[in-house]
């Protein structure tokens, strides 16, 4: 009760939702992959699905103290999760595990298979590459020194 009065109630609710939706075995596997810098589009897709299973993103973010004000005016598009998932699902297992092999003809095939445009496929691949670079910088010495890439689900 005191936690809720002090503004920690939402954090407690968020943690409870996360514990209910997230498989701890999967989290441990992901942590090992991140430490070895082996984060792939397969892992990214799994994380998006788990996040989506926790409920509407705007309500989850609103549970974090101080975020509610920062979100004011920001448009969170749940549809982006479906778009990203469909693009990743249209890739071959080799492309999901090594996105660097995705050349122009593969991008066209992925776009056709997912019902999206080549530009959307390019955007996802560029964002994923930026996220991988950020994780590598974070891994060096345990300090983060760069800017954050725009993530799917947030307004343009």
Question: What pLDDT digit, counting tens, does each position of 34-75 carry?
Answer: 667 778 899 889 888 887 877 777 666 666 665 555 555 555
| Element housing 102 (H / E) | none
57 located within any domain: yes
Q: Is residue 6 over pLDDT 50?
A: no
pTM beyond cutoff 0.85: no
CA 149 to chain centre: 11
For 113-130, how does the pLDDT look when each residue is reduced to its tens digit (9 = 90+)? 999 999 999 999 999 998
**Phi and psi based region of residue 92 (left: phi greater than 0; alpha: psi -120 to 50; beta: remaining):** beta
CATH number at residue 21: 1.10.260.30
> Is there a contact between 57 and 51 (Cβ–Cβ < 8 Å)?
yes
Whether the pLDDT of residue 148 is over 50: the answer is: no
148 inside domain: no
Say if residue 8's pLDDT is above 50. Answer: yes
Please give the average per-residue pLDDT across 127-136, as a whole number.
84
In a domain, 40, yes or no: yes
Q: Please state, as a whole number, how many other Cβ atoms lie within 10 Å of the Cβ of residue 7.
A: 10
pLDDT of 73: 58
89-115 confidence digits (pLDDT tens): 999 999 999 999 999 999 999 999 999
Range of the domain at 20: 2-139
Task: Report the DSSP beta bridge partners of residue 154.
Answer: 76
Provide the β-strand partners of residue 76. 154
For residue 151, is it within any domain? no
The count of domains in the chain is 1
In a domain, 111, yes or no: yes
What are the φ and ψ backbone dihedral angles of 72, each rounded to 5 degrees? -55, 120
Q: Structure tokens of 152?
A: 């799917």
Domain contains 154:
no
Whether 147 is in a domain gets the answer no
Give the pLDDT of residue 11: 59
């Amino acid at each position: 009760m005191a936690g809720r009065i002090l503004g920690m109630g939402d954090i407690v609710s968020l943690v409870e939702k996360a514990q209910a939706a997230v498989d701890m075995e999967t989290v441990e596997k992901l942590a090992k992959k991140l430490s070895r810098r082996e984060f792939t589009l397969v892992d990214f897709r799994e994380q998006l699905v788990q996040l989506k299973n926790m409920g509407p993103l705007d309500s989850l973010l609103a549970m974090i103290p101080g975020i509610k004000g920062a979100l004011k005016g920001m448009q969170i598009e749940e549809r982006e999760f479906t778009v990203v998932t469909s693009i990743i699902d249209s890739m071959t297992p080799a492309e999901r595990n090594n996105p660097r092999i995705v050349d122009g003809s593969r991008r066209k095939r992925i776009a056709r298979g997912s019902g999206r445009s080549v530009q959307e496929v390019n955007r996802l691949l560029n964002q994923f590459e930026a996220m991988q670079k950020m994780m590598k910088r974070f891994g060096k010495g345990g300090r983060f020194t760069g800017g954050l890439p725009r993530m799917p689900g947030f307004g343009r």
